Amino acid sequence: MSDDEADPELLELLRQSLFTASVPHNGVSSNTGVLKDAEYIYNNSIDVAIGMHGTKAAAAGIYKAMQERNYSTQAWSEHELHPKLSEDFSEVDMVNFIFTMDLLNFSFWSALDETERFQVEYQGRRWTGYNSLVACLRRGLDEGIPITTPRYWRSPECTDEALHKVFRSTTEESMPMLQERLAVLREAAAILHESFADDDDLEGEITTKELPIRTRASEALDSTTDTTIEHDKTHAVAMDEFTVPESSGAATLTNRPVDADVVAPVDTVNESPIDTTTTKAQNPDRADEADQHQSPPAPDLSITKSEDNDEISTQHEAFTSSPPRPDMSVVRLIGEANRSAGKLVNLLAKHFPCFRDETRFDGRKVRLLKRAQIFVADLWAALNGTGHGEFNDIDNLTMFADYRVPQMLHSLGVLSYSPTLLYRLRDRKEIPSGHSWEVQLRGCSIWAVELIRRDIVREHPEAEGKVNAVLIDFFLYDLAKEREKGMGGELEIPHHRTRSMWY
Ligand SMILES: Nc1nc2c(c(CN[C@H]3C=C[C@H](O)[C@@H]3O)cn2[C@@H]2O[C@H](COP(=O)(O)O)[C@@H](O)[C@H]2O)c(=O)[nH]1
């Protein structure tokens, strides 16, 4: 057999492993179809394009920066609010925390300015956006509310009042789409109970007496000397056409469903409308995911002690707890996926309407599945690919079609827009939810990250199996946040990649 002939035994092995992996065990495939749909969207997009020159330059810059930072799943645990195994969280606690977080991980947009928008004060700092959600969950646990235990969401103790307290704001503005979030929690609790609960779950109801242990991290954060309010300096990412001139009023990329309380200003993408058979509450991804294009950061306000802190310290001093009976329903859901990331994404979309992030484009149903994929990716990263975070096909996940990463892709010259789309956004005019423009932005972002990944592996074969769409996405999201806080967030494009290149 010559060198360039494939080894038949190896081929057979490969065929078998691919066949068994994709054969639907319990009727659920490991193929999500998201990347194929993203390519279809890209091939049929007329208002969003992917610049090959920008893509190759961005790939070089991203890979260089990831190497310099030794960027890996470890970065997930370095996020100061993320739960860590090194704290008092058991692996089941982590799983339940991440499930709760990613159930609710959508649309933190506000039309108000930096000081008035929804924000959460936790451990002497103020958190906005995604961070505000994580801070609410941590604060709830510290205050003795088992907010990350699905069984709690359907218990008598879990009143709307109790939930409003968990997600309370430090400002007058409440958490965006709070009602939808509460509805999602309660719906998920019922689905987990019906489809994945174990016998234990059927015994008695959790009461607030069985409360999770306060985590060491919260104690560590307690000691945070930094009393400067953390600013989510949400000025627009440089050069991003979605930067809204300060003078402009609110506008939308797409309007929220008619009963929404606010319309989102332009940014890039919404989490898409989903299949229309379900209500908005079930499908919060319809919400506009719009960035806050706010004026320059508000002045630092130092706070020494907030009434919240007093409340927390009082509460948890008097607070004793015995470890609650673990709620294993999410672990059981993960187990049904047999360590396949794709299968777990499909299970989430199959059982939970709120994760069913699908829409129609050019007469065809397309799946984007942003939060279903982000949940699996968060599990994988938080547990460093071990235990309930171990997946044999994690590289099949795609970029998560939110609005932050597309913003970065645009500012890096990877995505470009037609003049009509560009002006429409700059004018901050409404675009109906599910509009082709929204789907083009989300689908082309997914495809662009795939092209970046392919270019990295082409130029650096050693990156195969190491740099995947998940890590590129996480890296670009973190870069966007660094840039937003004025902490750099720049990419150095290696010179040799900026010359004109064939493609
Ligand atoms: N594509 C993508 N979208 C992401 C994230 C994250 C956070 N992931 C953490 C886990 C690992 C990473 O290192 C991050 O630390 C949140 N989002 C989305 O952004 C929006 C909130 O934005 P803002 O208001 O600016 O906080 C909202 O739709 C939310 O769903 C990501 O990673 N990728």
For the CA of 478, the closest atom of ligand 1 is 13
Separation of 295 CA from ligand 1 center, angstroms? 21
Round to whole Å and give the CA distance between 131 and 120.
9
Confidence of residue 429 (pLDDT cuts 50, 70, 90): confident
Q: Which pLDDT belongs to residue 497?
A: 57
| DSSP H or E segment with residue 183 | helix 178-196
Q: Which has more confidence, 225 or 351?
A: 351
Out of 75-84, 283-292, 293-302, 387-396, pick the least confident.
Answer: 293-302
Instruction: For ligand 1, atom 24, name the residue with the nearest CA.
Output: 129
Most confident among 86-90, 424-428, 452-456 (mean pLDDT): 452-456
Instruction: Record the tokens describing residue 302, joined without a space.
Output: 């130092």
Separation of 48 CA from ligand 1 center, angstroms? 22
Three-point CA angle 398, 401, 405, nearest 5°: 95
pTM of the model: 0.77
Q: Give pLDDT tens digits for 18-59.
A: 555 555 556 899 999 999 999 999 999 999 999 999 999 999
Closest CA relative to residue 463, chosen from 71, 35, 31: 71
Share above pLDDT 90 across residues of the chain, in percent, rounded to a whole number = 58
Distances (CA, A) of 118 to 108, 131, 245: 8, 11, 22
Q: What is the mean pLDDT of residues 420-429?
A: 84
Distances (CA, A) of 85 to 80, 147, 217, 302, 404: 13, 18, 10, 31, 28
Residues known to be catalytic:
402
Q: Which has more confidence, 497 or 195?
A: 195
Instruction: For ligand 1, atom 28, name the residue with the nearest CA.
Output: 106
Separation of 100 CA from ligand 1 center, angstroms? 15
- A 10 A CB-CB count for 232 gives 22
Separation of 16 CA from ligand 1 center, angstroms? 36
pLDDT tops 70 at residue 153:
yes
Mutate to test the pocket of ligand 1, among 234, 374, 405 (most ligand atoms within 8 A of CB): 374
